[in-house]
Amino acid sequence: MQRVINDFTIRVATVNGSGSQSSNLVLTNAIFSLGVPVAPKNVFPSNIEGLPTWFDVRVTARGYQCRTRDIDLLVGLNAATWRSDVASVKPGGAIVHEATYPIGGDTQRDDVTYYAVPFNELAKASFSDGTLRKYLLNMIYVGVLAELLGLDEATIEAAIAKQFKSKPKAVTTNMDAARVGFAYAREHLSKRDPFAIERMSGKTEGLLFMDGNRAAALGSVMGGCTVVAWYPITPSSSLCENFIALAEKYRVDKTTGEKNVAIVQAEDELAAIGMVLGAGWAGARAMTSTSGPGLSLMAEWAGYGYYAEIPAVIFDVQRAGPSTGLPTRTMQADIGFAYHLSHGDTKHIVLLPATVNDAYEMAMDAFDLADRFQTPVFVLSDLDLGMNSWITAPLAYPEKPFDRGKVLRADDLAKLDTWGRYRDIDGDGIAYRTLPGTNNPNAGYFTRGTGHDEQARYSELPDVWQRGLDRLNKKHETARTAVPKPAIDESGNAIALLAYGTTHHAIVEARDVLHADGIDVDYLRLKALPFAPEVASFIARHERVYVVEQNRDGQLYALLRAELPDHLVSRVRSIRHYNGVPIDAHAIIDPFLAAEREPAVVAE
Amino acid sequence: MTVNIIGLARDLYKGLPTTLCAGCGHNSITNHLIKALFDYGVEPHLLAKMSGIGCSSKTPAYFVDQAHGFNGVHGRMPSAATGAKLANRDLVVLGISGDGDTASIGLGQYAHMIRRNLDCVYLVENNGVYGLTKGQFSATADLGSTLKNGTVNEFAMIDVCGLAIELGATFVARSFSGDGKQLVPLLEAAIAHRGTAILDIISPCVTFNDHVGSTKSYAYVKEHELVANMPDYIRPREEITVDYEPGTVQTIELENGSHVLLRKIDAGYDATSRIGAMQAIHAARGNGEFLTGLLFVDPAVPDLCAKERMTATPLKDLGEADLRIGREEWSKLFT
């Protein structure tokens, strides 16, 4: 049997609320501590207790961070999903399962290895405390797996110590449970599968795990955000919760207890965005974080912010929609809505983070862009980026000062005879603003969502209205060269892929697989809307460009076709993935190869 | 030229000419507001005039032209006012709303602003009708009142004062747009109050709600108004305690050291009693009457900025050095 080293995927199938999360993290960290890259994906239900949940740990020597559909090693601890879990294992795989689960019919496969472990019995025999038992059972499978995969007790112990750092008693109890697993596997299981983990180097040194929501919270702190207004919603809540924890540590004067921050849990998302706009208008850097349903509620204020020209930062950690949808699953289906959020002619700056580092950097960018362009800026993360752990380098300390944009202060006004809030002095579509509290008789103006002229006076005149919309459009055009530029990886191939956000990670693997088959494709990773000029020129250099995204309607594909010059429109194709779990390489490769076999047929 | 205590002329407190109907109660309120802001000596540049949508919400354009104004979206002014105050706690936040903007579309934000005790003056220019869309009922219209076209209101009214008291409001008053003698001191007391100051001002709509079937017409109100108490607001720097007889005057000390003096018409009325205020409001309503005056005040409750323990410096003025995590601390985050 050919050994498979550091390149396989473990799926742990459990019941939500059983406390398997820390066991899964211990397993993930233990493997990572040996220098082996891992990509953990938590596929969990919208439920506190009782529904099925899966945790995939992709062990990947090549460092792929995307999900894979190939499950090699199953830990079956949920009777309710036992049949389908067995079916999910790849031929040649192995299944560690609760010994009492039936094997027969569908669950009787001759192409996988079974390891029956009496988990419940072992837990019962080892732990007298009934409440702890259910939870510690999960640590037993960590021990079993570790023994089967060649991880030693010291490695697991170190990972447990890291997980429960401030609780020495928890470290002991959990390690005891893991040892039960180690011992059982040593005495009762003989290794019959090919999977093994071996220490390696060159891939993980200096790196760490972080989720995108924490990175965005760190970016908000370092970006100078002082006002946060939010309404809890999965999967965005942990972004503001991380911000709160950071603010409690770093924004409180140690001696006086006074805070350099204000955080309000609002009554709903309408109030959250209203507070953010009120704060932005008065000169603070303010943000809210939300997900699809909350974004829908923010629509009216978003248009107000666009038209009255007020800075705001809105994080949308996308989940599967429409409607309440799948609150704990991922999609990229808000991009079309976010770009045009609100009625009337409205279009926004939208940033598209793909990595933890992006989530951090783009959070800071968002505050600068919001101030520079005096407009709401949307950061479209998703559940996969926001809530899963990713391998990342330490985040770099920011060296740039804040860009507070065009603000006239009292001494600036003293040098001017007049000024107009909505007058385009510089020809870039961006006017100058004053903040309330500016001590100059000319500072005040009336901010309104109704029609207004360059002096912010109410106006219904046709030419004034049209002039205002045209200037806002000019501002949007200026933004094209100010937003983060696309990342282009190009070597003269005729065919290219174009993607954004977390789809990136599946693109990386898909390109490697295609390359191994002799097919090389170029790649543009879009980082923001409006489209930078580099996007059209990239498409112009290729015969066919496949836009890959995680929504049903090809939303970015549609935005692109609407803006591209006519002669380029037919070069763009669409690949879509929208089942709620993160996209994998085959969701790109299969439709790509199918379309390439019939290049004359435009994929739609 | 007459100037106020900060040396500014009254003209500086004026705004653009009104575009509301001639005789509108809202215009009277604007004039009383100009007097109150002038008398109090509010710095024009520190005033933030906030409003939502509706006839009432247009009025911030008609006073203190030098101040910044924010005419937001319908029913959501409290959230914008909250954000503005958090960004710059030096601002004197003055919210102007109407009965539709407050009690219908904006009821949620009204309630939560009160719960948080945001430091602001919140005026409800209450005419029980949607003027700007030409005369539909609002949620403050009295049960049984009729529209111009004869439609009878079948639904119970929302009493924004009673509701505010129930929600924990720290300053609740009611007055009438045509009663400057009562309204101006109430406005000044509201400005001095550190917390949400609710002022429900019955303001007849001369176009859509000043007919015989309305319970908010001039004639109806003049006939049925009850004056519970007469507050005279006095700034400490003036040290004027004028001619209030001991025994008929109640002094309430505000957090900023100033006082509101209350003259009780009804000797039993106690504006510091939440339950008493509720009873008085309900009793008056039971008689088809409006109880006016300072209905309830509790100056001891900390406002939102105080509860949040915010620094005295306006948050908008903080820079990189104040807000970023230090380099040494930063590197510890990644070990």
Reported as a single tens digit per residue, the pLDDT across A331-381 is 999 999 999 999 999 999 999 999 999 999 999 999 999 999 999 999 999
Q: Over range A527-545, report the average pLDDT.
A: 98
| Segment 283-312 of chain A within 8 Å of chain B by CB | 283-284, 286, 300-301, 304
Q: Whose CA is closest to B8, among B65, B82, B50, B57?
A: B65
Q: Over range A223-230, report the average pLDDT.
A: 98
Question: Which residues from chain B sit within 8 angstroms of residue A221, using beta carbons?
Answer: 323-325
Q: How many CB atoms lie within 10 A of CB A128?
A: 8
B63: β partners: B14
Classify each residue of B77-116 as buried b or exposed e, where b means 16 or more C-beta atoms within 10 Å of its C-beta. Answer: bbbbbbbbbbbbbbbbbbbbbbbbbbbbbbbbbbbbbbeb
Question: Which residues from chain A sit within 8 angstroms of residue B73, using beta carbons?
Answer: 274, 300-301, 304, 449
Q: Which two tokens stand for residue A363?
A: 């959070």
- Answer whether residue A603 is part of any domain: no
CA distance A59 to A148: 15
Check CB contact under 8 Å for A283 and B109.
Answer: no
What percentage of chain B has pLDDT greater than the value 90?
57
Q: Whose CA is closest to A289, among A373, A366, A336, A232?
A: A232
CA distance A175 to B72: 58
Give the domain-ending residue among A163, A196, A229: A196
Split into its structural domains, chain A has a count of 4
- Answer whether residue A202 is part of any domain: no
CA–CA–CA angle A243, A249, A255 (5° rounding): 140
pLDDT at A545: 98
B162 touches A at CB < 8 Å: no
Q: Which two tokens stand for residue A72?
A: 């090699």
The answer on pLDDT for A601 being more than 70 is: no
Q: Which two tokens stand for residue A496?
A: 């290219």
Check CB contact under 8 Å for B311 and A259.
Answer: yes
Same domain, A218 and A172: no
Same domain, A184 and A214: no
The answer on pLDDT for B207 being more than 80 is: no
Query: Among 3.40.1710.10, 3.30.465.10, 3.40.50.970, 1.10.1740.10, what is the CATH number of B10-317?
Result: 3.40.50.970
Same domain, A132 and A274: no
Q: Over range B164-188, report the average pLDDT.
A: 92
CA distance B96 to B72: 11
Give the gap in angstroms from C-alpha A229 to the nearest C-alpha of chain B: 8
Same domain, A528 and A468: no
CB-based contacts of B331, cutoff 8 Å, min separation 6? A394, A397
CATH number, domain of A294, equals 3.40.50.970
* Residue that wins the pLDDT comparison between B174 and A5: A5
- Answer whether residue A401 is part of any domain: no
Q: Over range B162-175, report the average pLDDT.
A: 96
Please report which residue ranges of chain B form alpha helices under DSSP H: 25-40, 55-58, 77-87, 99, 107-116, 160-166, 180-192, 218-224, 274-286, 304-307, 320-323, 327-332
pLDDT band for B235, please (50, 70, 90 cuts): very low
A268 touches B at CB < 8 Å: yes
pLDDT at A49: 83
Which stretches does DSSP call E strand in A260-406? 262-265, 286-290, 312-318, 349-351, 376-382, 389-392
pLDDT at B219: 60
Same domain, A427 and A548: no
pLDDT in tens, A133-180: 988 999 999 999 999 999 999 999 999 999 999 899 999 999 999 999
Question: Which residues from chain B sit within 8 angstroms of residue A444, using beta carbons?
Answer: 44-45, 64-69
B87 touches A at CB < 8 Å: yes
- Please provide the size of chain B in residues: 335
Question: Which residues from chain A sit within 8 angstroms of residue B316, using beta carbons?
Answer: 226, 282-284, 435, 437
* Residue that wins the pLDDT comparison between B257 and A547: A547
Which of A205, A231, A261, A275 to probe the B interface (max B CBs under 10 A)?
A: A275
B48: β partners: B68, B93
pLDDT band for A438, please (50, 70, 90 cuts): very high
Assess contact for A299 and A334: CB atoms under 8 A.
no
Classify each residue of A267-294 as buried b or exposed e, where b means 16 or more C-beta atoms within 10 Å of its C-beta. Answer: bbbbbbbbbbbbbbbbbbbbbbbbbbbb
Same domain, A494 and A473: no
Assess contact for B118 and A313: CB atoms under 8 A.
no
- Answer whether residue A245 is part of any domain: yes
pLDDT in tens, A71-122: 999 999 999 999 999 999 999 999 999 999 999 999 999 999 999 999 999 9
Assess contact for A35 and A199: CB atoms under 8 A.
yes
pLDDT at B139: 86
CB-based contacts of B200, cutoff 8 Å, min separation 6? B124, B126, B160, B161, B172, B173, B174, B175
Same domain, A18 and A64: yes
Least confident of A328-342, A525-539, B11-25, B30-44: B11-25
Question: Which residues from chain B sit within 8 angstroms of residue A218, using beta carbons?
Answer: 333
Give the gap in angstroms from C-alpha B280 to the nearest C-alpha of chain A: 30
Average pLDDT, chain B: 83
Check CB contact under 8 Å for B109 and A270.
Answer: yes
CA distance B69 to A446: 4
Same domain, A218 and A330: yes
- Tokens 């007298």: give the residue: A128
The answer on pLDDT for B264 being more than 60 is: no
Q: Which two tokens stand for residue A520?
A: 């090389």
B294: β partners: B173
Give the domain-ending residue among A326, A361, A392: A392
pLDDT at B229: 53
pLDDT in tens, A251-292: 999 999 999 999 999 999 999 999 999 999 999 999 999 999
CATH number, domain of A9, equals 3.40.920.10
Which stretches does DSSP call E strand in A490-589? 495-500, 522-526, 528-529, 544-549, 572-576
A441 touches B at CB < 8 Å: yes
Same domain, A45 and A192: yes
Q: How many CB atoms lie within 10 A of CB A1?
A: 8
pLDDT in tens, A45-76: 888 888 999 999 999 999 999 999 999 999 99
| Segment 273-332 of chain B within 8 Å of chain A by CB | 304-305, 308-312, 314-320, 322-325, 327, 329-331
Give the domain-ending residue among A131, A161, A196: A196
Same domain, A295 and A269: yes
CATH number, domain of A501, equals 3.40.50.920
In terms of Cβ atoms closer than 10 Å to its own Cβ (0-12, 13-18, 19+), residue A251 is: buried
Least confident of A36-40, A528-532, A541-545, B145-149: B145-149
pLDDT at B153: 84
CA distance A346 to B289: 48
Which of B66, B116, B316 to probe the A interface (max A CBs under 10 A)?
A: B316
Domain, as residue range, for A443? 406-482
- Answer whether residue A509 is part of any domain: yes
Same domain, A341 and A315: yes
Return the amino acid letter for A547.
V
Q: Over range B308-315, report the average pLDDT.
A: 98
Same domain, A247 and A384: yes
pLDDT in tens, B278-293: 998 888 877 777 788 8
